[in-house]
Structure 1
Amino acid sequence: MSNLHGLSMDVEHVDGIVFMEFKAIGTLTHADYEKITPMVDEALDGIENPVVNVYVDGSEFEGWQLQAAWDDLKLGLKHGKKFNKVAFYGNSRWQEVMTKVGSWFVAGEVRYFEDPLEALGWLRA
């Protein structure tokens, strides 16, 4: 296990749809969420009834520290109703299970993929 960790985010606004892309690396910490949460808030601020499609690249994701898991849950509860589609690209059984649990906190559809192009294709369909 490496000490490298982090959460990066990219946002695009196209024809009234907000497209967010996250890349999670290593074991996420509270500090990672302290950086990313205001970016998510800002991206969705002031948009009435946004349609948000999210792509998560979890291929290098190893999990969360306890506080970061709580931060992730809070973020999902705050913005989950705005999410239309969430595609999680990963490579392990626990990530697939986590995706199913995450779907409980999201109004839209959440799917797990083992192929990144398939995930992006589904989001853009």
Structure 2
Amino acid sequence: MFKIIDITKEELIALEVEGKLTENDYNKITPLIEKAVKDFGKVKLYVQLNYVDGISPKAFWEDVKTYLKHFNDMKKIAVVGKSRWEKLWSELAAPFISGEVKYFEFTDIDKAREWVKD
């Protein structure tokens, strides 16, 4: 499940991720991304992986489609996590966007938030 968090503002979309991601989660967040792209051109994402219990195949496909569709629209993506798998996920996403993707450990949440806001 995606939860929009308080630092979301203008071109910055900030999300917490908990549980298992489904296609329905992407159906809710994609319009927010679409609107931000329409309003600001390039967007920044902050993704805080609190606890991820997996991703359904349809949700994974939606994730890939979103990155491909918005290849040139992503300015920065900050991913905050606590496992090698989460770091690997952020590294795998990098080729699908023209902007910068950076992974941060939970101990560096403040640094991640500052980096993505710049």
* In the alignment, structure 1 residue 27 sits paired with structure 2 residue 24: no
The 2-side partners of 1:46 and 1:90 are apart by 29
- Cα deviation, 1:86-120, whole Å, max 9, x if unaligned, reads 10000100010110110010101101100211111
- State the 1:46 CA deviation: 4.7
Corresponding letter in the other structure for 1:12: K
CA RMSD of aligned residues (A): 1.5
Q: Specify the SS of the correspondent of 1:12.
A: coil
- Report if aligned partners of 1:8, 1:36 keep a CA contact under 8 Å in 2: no
1:7 alignment partner in structure 2:
2
Shift of 1:24: 1.1
Note if contact 2:42-2:72 (Cα within 8 Å) is conserved in structure 1. no
Point out where structure 1 has 5 or more consecutive residues left out of the alignment.
1-5
Say if 1:46 and 1:19 are closer, same or farther in 2 by CA, change over 3 A: closer
2:54 matches 1:63: yes
Please report the TM-score for the alignment, with normalisation by the length of structure 2: 0.87
% identical aligned pairs:
32
Among 78, 83, 93, the residue aligned to 1:92: 83
Deviates more, 1:36-45 or 1:22-31: 36-45
Partner of 2:96: 105
Stretches of structure 2 lacking an aligned partner (at least 5 in a row): none
Match of 1:41 in 2: 34
Answer with 1 or 2: which has the greater Rg: 1
Contact 2:36-2:43 at 8 Å conserved across structures: no
More helix by share: 2
Distance 2:53 2:94 in 1: 19
Q: How many residues align?
A: 114
2-structure distance, mates of 1:31, 1:90:
23
